[in-house]
């Protein structure tokens, strides 16, 4: 489990296909505090650490299945790609965002960007099948970042990014047409499921 509060911006160092896709990711995390088998959310995708090292800087390797590549924006990774990282939630940690599983539901697209004061309003188009789970003032995780939805119209929804969020995450580099990993709020999914059975 994660909270959607990004704690590091990593960088993809290398990618190689060896059955599954293997990625090496540079990080500012203390490698000595990460175990093999640990879960780290990379752009909102829960991935398992399979190797670690500290030369020339701290890095960890993850294996990514073909299923994950096909259902997320990880297919667009290349060396130099900056990615949002979050370590798994520990009992007693502050829950500053919302409960995020790291199981991406689909890919949304950036379809609009408008400056609003110091903030940036970004409009996304969600896959039609996921639109019913997105509500005004509800939560979503986009590229692993816990965010509050401002407005919803059909399959499009808007998010305001404050300067702090853009400075400490990859949202400072957002561009029209970007494909982003979308995880809907777990509670919204369960409420919709209960209504189907009601």
Domain ranges in the chain? 8-87, 106-197
Peptide bond into 56 cis (omega under 30): yes
* Interatomic CA distance for residues 148 and 151, integer angstroms: 9
pLDDT on residue 150: 96
pLDDT on residue 187: 73
Closest to 135 in 3D by CA, of 192, 188, 190, 198: 188
Query: Could you name the CATH architecture of 8-87?
Result: Beta Barrel (2.40)
Class (C level, CATH) for 106-197: mainly beta
* Interatomic CA distance for residues 152 and 156, integer angstroms: 6
* Interatomic CA distance for residues 5 and 88, integer angstroms: 11
pLDDT on residue 193: 66
Domains 8-87 and 106-197 share a fold: yes
Where do we find the tokens 């000595």? 32
Report how far Cα 195 is from the mean position of its chain's Cα atoms: 28
Q: Kindly report the backbone phi and psi dihedral angles of residue 153, in degrees, each rounded to the nearest multiple of 5, phi listed first.
A: -140, 105
pLDDT on residue 190: 67
pLDDT on residue 87: 96
Answer whether 159's CB lies under 8 Å from 119's CB: no
pLDDT on residue 60: 98
* Interatomic CA distance for residues 40 and 48, integer angstroms: 6
pTM for the model = 0.93
pLDDT on residue 186: 76
pLDDT on residue 1: 86
- Per-residue pLDDT for the chain (198 aa), expressed as one digit of tens each? 899 999 999 999 999 998 999 999 999 999 999 999 999 999 999 999 999 999 888 999 999 999 999 999 999 999 999 999 999 987 777 777 788 889 999 999 999 999 999 999 999 999 999 999 999 999 999 999 999 999 999 999 999 999 999 999 999 999 999 999 999 987 776 677 677 776
């Amino acid at each position: 489990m994660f909270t959607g509060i990004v704690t590091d911006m990593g960088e993809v160092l290398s990618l190689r296909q060896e059955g599954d896709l293997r990625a090496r990711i540079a990080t500012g995390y203390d490698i000595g505090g990460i175990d093999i088998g640990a879960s780290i959310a990379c752009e909102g995708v829960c991935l398992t650490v399979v190797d670690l090292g500290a030369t020339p800087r701290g890095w960890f390797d993850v294996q990514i299945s073909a299923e994950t590549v096909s259902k997320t924006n990880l297919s667009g990774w290349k060396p130099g790609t900056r990615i949002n990282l979050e370590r798994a939630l520990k009992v007693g940690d502050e829950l500053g965002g919302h409960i995020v599983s790291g199981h991406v539901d689909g890919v949304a697209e950036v379809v609009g960007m408008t400056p609003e004061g110091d903030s940036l309003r970004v409009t996304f188009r969600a896959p039609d099948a996921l639109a019913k789970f997105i509500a005004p003032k509800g939560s979503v995780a986009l590229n692993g970042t816990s965010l509050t939805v401002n407005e919803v119209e059909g399959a499009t929804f808007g998010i305001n990014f404050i300067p702090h969020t853009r400075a400490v995450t990859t949202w400072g580099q957002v561009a029209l047409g970007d494909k982003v990993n979308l995880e809907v709020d777990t509670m919204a999914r369960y409420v919709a499921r209960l209504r189907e059975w009601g």
